[in-house]
Amino acid sequence: MPTTFRPYHPDQILLLAPDLREWVSEGHLSHQVSDLVDSLDLGSFYAPYEGDGRRNAPYEPSMMLKVLIYGYATGVYSSRAIARNLEEDVAFRMLAAGNFPQHRTICEFRSRHLEDFGRLFVAVVGVAREMGLVRFGTLSLDGTKVRAKASKRKAMSYERMLKEQARLEKEIGALLSGAVSIDAEEDARYGADVRGDELPVELQRRQARSQTRSEPQPEGRAALQKSLWRARPEGSEQLHGPRVSDHEDERGGVPAVL
């Protein structure tokens, strides 16, 4: 008797609009980040855009903050990695709600609001600590709650809280400095406007990939020419550029007797 597999139809169109919030478990950190950011005053992040009158509307600051805080809290510091996760990771996509800012936009937003962003990050982690959380992503917290009534034990808890606050501010400051350094290093490696994981231009469209898979494999003389082409020192560059004609191959050193 043949095996019956569960339905799998990747080309099926969804008839009802999906709610990405339902794709992430209820207790997931991304939900906590979203709720915490929504509960804080974000006026300093909106003020620079007032009266700007720009033609192209900027991304919503609250969305950018949620994506950045969640990324840094989970150990994703590179703006390029955050941009990639906005396409591939459900939690990031839920927080962005259908927005896909490029890595350069993410980096510029952080640079523009760096001081306010650092304070907000500390405030978000502080609220999480007051809720009794012992971890906030990769950050460890002192989940001890301050007692409501005045007492010696409260004074000790308050002193410990101040010490924890200083530790978190230092840790988050180092985290932000590290993120800036990572982006600068990747800009130098790939170029400021290149993410670094792009497919060759001729393979970026689905139709082109399908045609490539369906092309018959060369045989005989053509197969030998193709293997020699790949063996040439500049082969990696040639493979990502436009194909040249056979007479150009001969000028490049491929024997004409082939």
Per-residue model confidence as pLDDT tens digits over 115-165 = 999 999 999 998 988 888 888 998 888 755 544 444 444 444 678 878 888
Cα dihedral across residues 170, 173, 179, 184: positive or negative = negative
Helix (H, G, I), strand (E, B) or coil at 7: coil
The predicted pLDDT at position 2 comes to 74
Q: Which residue has the tokens 């053509």?
A: 222
d(CA 237, CA 234): 6
Is 245's pLDDT higher than 60? no
Q: In the chain, what are the domain boundaries?
A: 20-49+58-190, 214-251
The predicted pLDDT at position 124 comes to 93
Q: How confident is the model at residue 214 (pLDDT cuts 50, 70, 90)?
A: low
Q: 18-22 — which CB contacts under 8 Å span 24+ positions?
A: 20/90, 20/93, 20/94, 20/97, 21/94
Q: What is the pTM of this model?
A: 0.69
Is 230's pLDDT higher than 70? no
d(CA 105, CA 57): 13
The predicted pLDDT at position 167 comes to 87
Residues 224-243: what's their mean pLDDT? 48
Is 209's pLDDT higher than 70? no
d(CA 244, CA 241): 9
**CA distances, 63 to each of 41, 59, 60, 148, 228 (Å):** 14, 7, 5, 34, 51
